[in-house]
Every structure is written in structure tokens, then in C-alpha cells.
Amino acid sequence: MKITMIGTGYVGLVSGACFADFGHTVTCVDKDESKIAAIRGGKMPIYEPGLDGLVAGNVAAGRLGFTTDLAEGVKGADAIFIAVGTPSRRGDGHADLTYVYAAAQEIAEALDGPAVIVTKSTVPVGTGDEVERIMREARPDLEVAAVSNPEFLREGAAIEDFKRPDRIVVGTDDPRATAVMRQIYRPLYLNEAPLLFTSRRTAELIKYAANAFLATKITFINEMADLCEAVGAEVKDVARGIGLDNRIGSKFLHAGPGYGGSCFPKDTLALIKTGQDYDSPIRIVEAVAQVNDNRKRAMGRKVIRALGGEARGRKVAMLGLTFKPNTDDMRDAPSLAIVQALEDAGADICAYDPEGMEAAAALMPKVTMVSDPYAAAAGADVLVLVTEWDVFRALDLKKIAGLMTAPILVDLRNIYPAAEASAAGFTLYRVGGVDAA
């Protein structure tokens, strides 16, 4: 199959490279010239484990190409995927569909034959109808099917997720589009692909329902963590105790500083907006978004409490800035709100993150970025573990304690057992633990 990917970001680049790896011929298009130039020069615009090798191999094999020329890119394509951003619209939280509709318009004008237009971006119910309308209006001469195919990959494990997804959701009732989509995804499976065909509107909603459910699960355990602190219980054991029940499952039950990233915050807001627009409010998700929003700044207050209530002029060392490990994505990362809360209280912040510092520096200009965890800890009054990167899981705590003015650790990911921290001389504050403040 000949596939074109419009938008070469986290989703477009990974999906394009994986489709090429399965033998399809793929052209990735992006209007960002510097991005395309960098990729062509062998430099990935994002950090994603394994991506550079996957891209290089498929470019060398002649199956994967990159261009800024959309018209050139869509020529002769069996399927054209739209994988552009759908950020929150300023002001009302609705998904901003400007990029999706602009891409659809450009594709329509450039088409040179019948095509299947596949929306991979996360878009609210009804967006596919509008994409179809744009296509029909611009090109009444062509047979065009608009399909929904939401993406479920996780940054940091994107290649594995794309190649071995739990399910592939395809929303269409068009027989030709159904056949094309089967053909595109068939190589991913030796036996039958876990393809779930639904109506287009249903497929669009599945993506939001999935993300809202996961955000709810995280927020649920975070509120349980607060209750654990209040009553003297241990949230890790609560999570294990409920997670071993197969009906609940153990994933997404890690208490922490609140969810962030490029998807959960904006997708929960967009779903809330859709619910309100259709007079069918989703009150659980409304509560989740509100609780999570408050939580991130509350983590800043937790650090201030660990400092004895006064942060002015104190030095805070932060380990991890990205919203999760193995990505450089800083979009809506909890660290942003934590830094803001601490800076508002007069603290000086020094931080280290293995991949996120370049993106973070632009968003938190007053934070001093350093080259390793030990440099961050030097002279600090408190150490805050924000993102659970592997390199932070086995730090030499004794050495770090010796570098600090006072060995206080606020472990927002519950990595370090109380015994280990106190053996190294630390006063430990955790999330949802009996030893927490």
C-alpha cells in the first residue's frame, strides 16, 4: 500500500516509520521545514526510544520518505492519514480543529484520484462528517471516504505500542475504505488483527472514552493517596489490594503528582465540552479534570511544607521534568505547575531531566538546568523526585544527602522505600504513605 502521513510529530512519525517497517511505502509530510530537514539529516525531532534506527533503516530501504510538499506527498496514495495536532482551543477547552480542517482542505485540492482519508488525530465526534463534507465540496469529481482511526500509542513505548496494539479501532461504513484499512493493518498480525470496526462517530468517541477512563483511574488513586495520608494507610498497598482484582486491574494505579502530557489533559477537557454541547454532561470526568488540575499545584505546596513552610530563598532540586519517562514531551507536565508554585513562593530551582531539559528551558526560564542528579542536589535544601526516569531509581542516596544542606526528599513517585531513605539520612515525604507529611 502507498500511505501518506500528514503531520510528522509524535504520532505521524512513529506511525509512518512503523507502517514502512511492515513493508508499505510511506511518505511523511510536515509543513515545518526545520523538522523535515532535521529528519532527512538523520536527527529525530523528538526523543522516542528506537525511533532513529527505525527511520534510518526504512529510509535506506526506500520505503520511507519525507517532504514539506503536501501535493507531492499525496500523489497516488491509497490512504492519506491526518496526524496533525488537536490542542485545546484557548478559552473554552474544545479541541482546536483548525489544523485538521486545513489539512483536509489541502489534501482535497491535491488529490489526483479516489482516496481514503483517515483521521488519526484525536478529534471530537462529528469531525469525520466535516472532513467528508470538505472533501465532497472541494472534489465532487472524486470518490473519497473519510475514516476515523484513532491512535492509542504511548510516548516512550510508541513503537512497541504501534506494532503490537491491544486493538485497532476503525470507524467507517464504506466497503472500499474497510478493505483498504484491513490491507494496511494486516501485516501487523500473523493471525487475525484485533481490528474493531465501528461507525465513524463511535470510533471518534472510543478514543476520548479510553483516555478519560484512564485519567479517572489515575485521579481515583491520587485521591485515595490523599485519604491514606489523612488516615495513616499506605496507598501502594491499597493499589495492589484493589489492582489484583481482575475487574479492576493493576495498571494506572500509581499515585503521583497528577496526570499531564499531550493527551489526557486536553482530551478530558474536549470530552467534557462535547458532553456539555450535547446536553449530556460527563460529571465524573468534569470532577477528574478539576481534581487533577488542583493536584499539580498542591504538589508544590507539599514541597513547601517539607521545607517547614517557608520557601523564600531556599534551593529546590528537581529530578525529572517531562510528564513521564522516556519522552522529551513537556506539554502539560505536572512539573510546570510545581515550578510555578515554588517560584511564586520565592524558591530557587535547579533541575535535571535526561531528555526534557531543552524543551523545559523554554517553558521555565528561571530554572537552572544542570547535567546530572548530583549537580542538582549540590547545596539544595530539598530534593524533589518528579518523573520516574530509570536513572533516578537507584541513586546513591548517601552521596546525595552529603551534598545537600539538609537531606529532605519529596518522592512524588514513591520510588524509594522509607527504610532506604532514612538509612541514607533522609527525611522522606511520599505520596499517600504513612510516613508522608
What's the closest the beta carbon of residue 6 comes to ligand NAD, in angstroms? 5
Provide, rounded to whole angstroms, the least separation between the CB of residue 84 and ligand NAD.
4
Site for ligand NAD in 96-155 (CB under 6 A): 99, 102-103, 106, 121-122, 151, 153, 155
Instruction: Report whether 244 contacts 66 (CB < 8 A).
Output: no
Stretch that binds ligand NAD, among 2-10, 54-62, 194-202, 220-228 (CB under 6 A): 2-10
CB closer to ligand NAD out of 161 and 174: 161
Residue 70 is a binding residue for ligand NAD (CB under 6 A): yes
> Shortest Cβ contact with ligand NAD: which residue?
9
Q: Which of 248, 252, 251, 224 is nearest to 238 (CA)?
A: 224
Q: Which is nearer to ligand NAD, 10 or 19 (CB)?
A: 10
Separation between Cα atoms, residue 63 and residue 196, nearest integer Å: 27
Q: Which stretch binds ligand NAD (CB under 6 A): 10-18, 373-381, 391-399, 401-409?
A: 10-18
Radius of gyration of the chain (CA): 23
How many residues at the interface with ligand NAD, by CB under 6 A? 28
Q: Residue 408 Cβ, how far from ligand NAD at the closest point, in Å?
A: 34
Q: Of 11 and 401, which has the nearer Cβ to ligand NAD?
A: 11
Exactly one of 5, 7, 63, 322 binds ligand NAD (CB under 6 A); that residue is 7
Is residue 85 near ligand NAD by the rule CB under 6 A?
A: yes
Among 35, 217, 296, 413, binds ligand NAD (CB under 6 A): 35
Query: Least Å distance between CB 398 and ligand NAD?
Result: 37
168 near ligand NAD (CB under 6 A): no
In terms of Cα–Cα distance, which of 355, 406, 293 is closest to 155? 355
6 lies in the site for ligand NAD, by CB under 6 A: yes
Residue 260 near ligand NAD by CB under 6 A: no
Q: Which of 31, 139, 163, 186 binds ligand NAD (CB under 6 A)?
A: 31
Catalytic residues: 263
Cα distance between the two ends of the chain: 58
Q: In the bound complex, what is the minimum distance in angstroms from residue 96's beta carbon to ligand NAD?
A: 10
Q: Single out the segment in contact with ligand NAD by CB under 6 A; choices: 80-88, 296-304, 364-372, 388-396.
A: 80-88
Report in angstroms how near the CB of residue 102 gets to ligand NAD at its nearest. 5
| Residue of 30, 328, 348, 355 that binds ligand NAD (CB under 6 A) | 30
Could you tell me if residue 326 is left (phi over 0), alpha (psi between -120 and 50 degrees) or otherwise beta? left
| Cα→Cα distances 404→236, 309, 314, 348, 407, Å | 28, 18, 12, 14, 6
Looking at the Cβ atoms of 6 and 400, the one nearer to ligand NAD is: 6
Q: Is 215 in the site for ligand NAD (CB under 6 A)?
A: no
Answer yes or no whether residue 326 interacts with ligand NAD by CB under 6 A. no
132 vs 155, beta carbon nearer ligand NAD: 155
The binder of ligand NAD chosen from 10, 185, 220, 389 (CB under 6 A): 10
Q: Which of 4, 5, 8, 221 binds ligand NAD (CB under 6 A)?
A: 8
Stretch touching ligand NAD by CB under 6 A, among 24-32, 58-66, 140-148, 425-433: 24-32
Considering only residues 232 through 251, tell me which ones interact with ligand NAD, judged by CB under 6 A: none
Distance CA 65, CA 422 (A): 54
Binding site for ligand NAD (CB under 6 A): 6-12, 29-32, 35, 70, 83-86, 99, 102-103, 106, 121-122, 151, 153, 155, 262-263
